[in-house]
Chains A and B, each alone.
Chain A
Amino acid sequence: EIVLTQSPGTLSLSPGERATLSCRASQSISSNYLAWYQQKPGQAPRLLIYGAFSRATGIPDRFSGSGSGTDFTLTISRLEPEDFAVYYCQQYGSSPRTFGRGTKVEIK
């Protein structure tokens, strides 16, 4: 199965700063079939990005996805207070689908 490694484990930033989250795959993900989710404490995950760079419905344009092959990035251009959360990547290019272990974005 494809193992997704997310880094860093924790990112400490201030509101207004730029956040760059990495997701690296143990093998190439076909057709860039990668999604990103945001999860806040006590809540279900919410889809942010699919197909590596397509924003889901209702997601602000400060969230952007990029990358291909084995290296993918989620960028939050200017952190808003509601963006502090845990972010997961997920691949659906091969079975079984797998998730990364998450990156926590916390207030510095």
Chain B
Amino acid sequence: QLQLQESGPGLVKPSETLSLTCTVSGRSISSRSFYWGWIRQPPGKGLEWIGSIHYSGKSYYNPSLKSRGTISIDTSKNQFSLKLTSLTAADTAVYYCARDRPPYDHGDPGWLDPWGQGTLVAVSS
């Protein structure tokens, strides 16, 4: 059964860089059929897609991040990671990782299933 688990610091200072890792178990991350994505949800608010990456290295990002985000993939560890720079209080959120399924072969990222349980990151001094 495919499972995803986020890990990283629960508290980060403003202006610093957040690093999160998603460990995938139950399936190889090197599948050409899927992307792997990050999504966040500020407390009490809705969902925002951050970006997604394919094992080949092809990646997509939400322009709202203004190039502060970078997603990387480590097939040897079956993990993918998110780095988010220049943090502010507005980046406080639960961060989720998820498998990202294109609607057709070689397509762009599509729907997200399954999701990890999420990890809360607070940005505060």
Contacts and interface: CB of A to CB of B under 8 A. Distances in A.
Contacts of B113: 46-47, 50, 56
Interface string A83-108: 00000101010011111111000000
| Residue from A35, A44, A46, A56 with most neighbouring chain B CB atoms (10 Å) | A44
Contact of B103 (A31, A45, A46, A90): A31
Interface of B: 46-49, 60-64, 96, 101, 103, 108-118
Contacts of A33: 103, 110
Given A33-B103, A98-B49, A99-B47, A92 B110 contact: yes
Contact of B46 (A43, A47, A92, A101): A101
Interface of A: 31, 33, 35, 37, 43-47, 50-51, 56, 88, 90, 92, 95-102
Nearest to A95: B60
B118 A96 contact: no
A101 B47 CA distance: 8
A102 B46 contact: yes
B117 A96 contact: no
Given A95-B108, A96-B62, A97-B109, A47 B114 contact: yes
A46 B92 CA distance: 22
